[in-house]
Chains A and B, each alone.
Chain A
Amino acid sequence: MGGSSIQSFFAASRHSKAQALLGSTACVAAVTGAIYAFRGAVPVLSLGALYLFAVLPVAVLWGRLYAITVAIGSMLAFNFFFLPPEHTFRLEERTNWFALAVYLATGIVVSELAARARHRAAEAEQREREEALLAELSIALLQGERLADGLEAIPQAVARILGITHARLELDADAKSESRGLELRAGNRRVGVLLLPDAEQSDASVRDRFLPAFSSLLAVAMDREALEQEALAAERLRLSDSIKTAILRSVSHDLRSPLTAIRVAGESLASPALELSEADRHRLLDTIREESQRLDRLVANLLDLSRLQAGALTSRKELVAVDELVGQALAQLAGREASVRIELPDDAPIVNVDTAQIERALVNLLENALRFAPADTDVVVRAAAFPDEVVLRVENQGPALAESDLERIFEPFEGAVEEDGRQGTGLGLAIARGFAEANGGRIWAESHPLRGVSFAMSFPLAETRIPAQA
């Protein structure tokens, strides 16, 4: 018999007095029957020893009280059925008294020993379970599971150890719990409170043994979590510091380039010393107009990014055809749409997205692709519908990206510090990714040595069938 089935047998029998009584009676009856069968072959008096086989299992299964009862009952049954005069509780011979007394004493001693062994086995099993739980808890908590996630499972396991149906755990991690219950202490420090239902009584010796170890473990886990959070906060501060430096550097460059062009163009137009032709004037005015738009887009990008990073973005989704999205995005390219080639399927797929946001994402992908496209090459926009998603691609024949850069370029301000001196806003791709993901889409980059760089954006295909009458 395996350990677990013994355990379950104990667990079941503990709650069933009737079962114990019935079992005890059955044992006595079975031995009585056996003696009855053997009495022709063996002297009946010696057969009384067989009743030990009734006492032993009862002692092991149901404990001392039942075993002693069975010992006494056995002697009474032996006397009643087999010792002359039969079918009375009286005895004729004095020697039979002696035998009965010896059998009874032996039965009681055996039952006591068996019951003790049973108790020790049960206690060993209990300790084993306590230790197993502590080990399991410490592994889980030290491997980085959060205490807060275990507030359901941990008290349940503790309740099983204490032999009660349920318990609740309140930690003093943040505020001192006001609830009254079993205080969990580690050293002089209160860790939390274990709330047990009043009606049920747990084993005090188990409590005294198990709870201090459990409390210390909780205390260690809580300290570790506190330290981890401090470390995280410090890391976040450090990161936000380096991001701020990157922002300053990138924004400084991105603001100064258009500002420089505008200032030079403006001062040229105003300068009495310069002789500008009509065409020159137009060129300078165009520069001012286009660079002002660029500044405007940069400011919009910064605002978008701060909204995305603050998590304050909401998407107002609507059904829109992909070709319409692409058309709107092209219209925002301010004169550079001539070098963009569109390859869309005839039946344009429909997606369910926030039009303004996905347009911005597309514009950013297009601007990035145009920026790195070699002169006299086209940027291509493609769309393909798959059974459950639509993939939009913006491709150029620009320089291939290293495998390690395919993800990195979506980090804010990464474009600003390209090793080869290429400069982007460092914002556009990060914003495109933020918008795509806010609309349930994905965005990624692929690089082929021969075919250039492809930025892909995918969205779930919208359910466009007209729903049945509701």
Chain B
Amino acid sequence: MLVVDDEPQILRALETTLRAAGYEVDTAATGEAALTQAAVRPPDAVILDLVLPGKSGVEVSRELREWTQVPILILSAVGEEHEKVAALDAGADDYVTKPFGLDELLARLRASLRRTQREQEPLLEIGDLRIELDKRAVYKDGELLSLTPHEFKLLRLFAVNVGRLLTHQMILREVWGPAYQSESHYLHVYVSQLRRKIESDPARPRYLLTEPGAGYRLVDSA
């Protein structure tokens, strides 16, 4: 586990806590130090502060993603929404907002770690949803749903990244292609169509949740 923050006190508290929770912890106070540290001793996960001296959290995320799929958990604060979304777009997996609770941090960390361990299976079950990736078929309560190709691609993207926050830009790039990265109204329309099919109550979604200002997240609420 690599913890990156320029506040020595936060670093110290996190280091002590995570070590007590059973993780091995390395620390870094700058973006450059974090990149070096990650190369020397590849971590299982990176906890990364957004605002750092030298290279920012966004740049560190981008450079890490060039060579590793290690889960990156962003520490952000109110007022840093713009940078937070940029870091997520650059490949970070998730974020917690300062001052975060310990339980929240550990839960997000465990979820991130689990995702990398999940193998690419042809069959995904999320709540009462059953997604057969190879047959391009989706069942809800055993009933076959009829999805358009774009709706299926969208659901598949969410399903293989279950629990992970996906930004608007990331989804548009994956489903529609890089030329559509800024067409977020497409996305809102397709998400609401998809919700009408997979959610029992589309106005109060259980699976496909909105992260205000950032993106969407498919959760396994079962």
Contacts and interface: CB of A to CB of B under 8 A. Distances in A.
Contact of B20 (A259, A274, A421): A274
Interface in B6-49: 6-7, 9-10, 12-14, 16-17, 19-21, 31
B21 A274 contact: yes
Interface residues of B, number: 30
Nearest to B30: A421
Interface in A243-258: 248-249, 252-253, 256-258
Given A252-B79, A291-B9, A421-B54, A260 B99 contact: yes
Interface stretch (A66-74, A102-110, A261-269): A261-269
B13 A268 contact: yes
A259 B99 contact: yes
Interface stretch (A178-186, A279-287, A355-363): A279-287
Contacts of B185: none
A261 B78 contact: no
A259 B98 contact: yes
A257 B9 contact: yes
Interface string B62-103: 000000000000010111000000000000000000111111
Nearest to A276: B20
Nearest to A294: B9
A18 B130 CA distance: 125
A287 B9 contact: yes
Contact of A267 (B9, B10, B103): B103
Given A268-B16, A421-B54, A421-B56, A261 B10 contact: yes
A365 B10 CA distance: 23
Contact of B10 (A260, A268, A271): A260
B166 to A, nearest CB: 26
B159 interface: no
A265 B17 contact: yes
B20 A256 contact: no
A94 interface: no
A249 B78 CA distance: 8
B52 interface: yes
A328 to B, nearest CB: 24
Nearest to B7: A257
A283 B6 CA distance: 18
A290 interface: yes
B13 A261 contact: yes
A289 B185 CA distance: 49
Contacts of A275: 20
A256 B77 contact: yes
Contacts of A284: 13, 16-17
Given A248-B79, A275-B20, A284-B13, A261 B7 contact: yes
Contacts of B19: 280
A287 B13 contact: yes
A103 B194 CA distance: 123
Interface in A145-200: none
B13 A264 contact: yes
B18 to A, nearest CB: 9
Contacts of B103: 267
A420 interface: yes
Greatest chain B CB density within 10 A among A260, A268, A273, A421 is at A260
A421 B51 contact: yes
The range of chain A's interface size is 20 to 34
B17 A268 contact: yes
B51 to A, nearest CB: 6
A275 B10 CA distance: 19
A15 interface: no
Contacts of A261: 7, 9-10, 12-13
A422 B29 CA distance: 11
B99 A252 contact: no
B14 A264 contact: yes
Contact of A252 (B9, B52, B53, B77): B77
B134 to A, nearest CB: 40
A253 B77 CA distance: 7
Contacts of B51: 253, 421, 423
A374 to B, nearest CB: 11
Contacts of A287: 9, 12-13
Contacts of A258: 9
A399 to B, nearest CB: 9
Nearest to A283: B16
Contacts of A262: 99
Contacts of B102: 263-264, 267-268, 271
A257 B13 CA distance: 11
Contact of A420 (B14, B16, B54, B75): B54
A274 B21 CA distance: 5
Contacts of B77: 252-253, 256
B17 A256 contact: no
A221 B14 CA distance: 65
Given A260-B75, A280-B20, 15 more contacts: A248-B79, A252-B79, A257-B7, A258-B9, A260-B13, A260-B98, A263-B101, A264-B14, A265-B16, A273-B21, A275-B20, A276-B20, A283-B16, A291-B9, A421-B54
Interface of B: 6-7, 9-10, 12-14, 16-17, 19-21, 31, 51-56, 75, 77-79, 98-103, 105
28 contacts: A252-B77, A256-B78, A256-B98, A257-B10, A258-B9, A259-B99, A260-B7, A260-B75, A260-B98, A261-B7, A263-B99, A263-B102, A264-B17, A264-B100, A267-B101, A268-B13, A274-B20, A274-B21, A280-B20, A283-B12, A287-B9, A287-B12, A291-B9, A421-B6, A421-B31, A421-B51, A421-B53, A423-B6
Q: Which 5 residue pairs of A and B lie closest in terms of their CB atoms, listed nearest first?
A: A267-B102, A260-B99, A274-B20, A259-B99, A261-B9
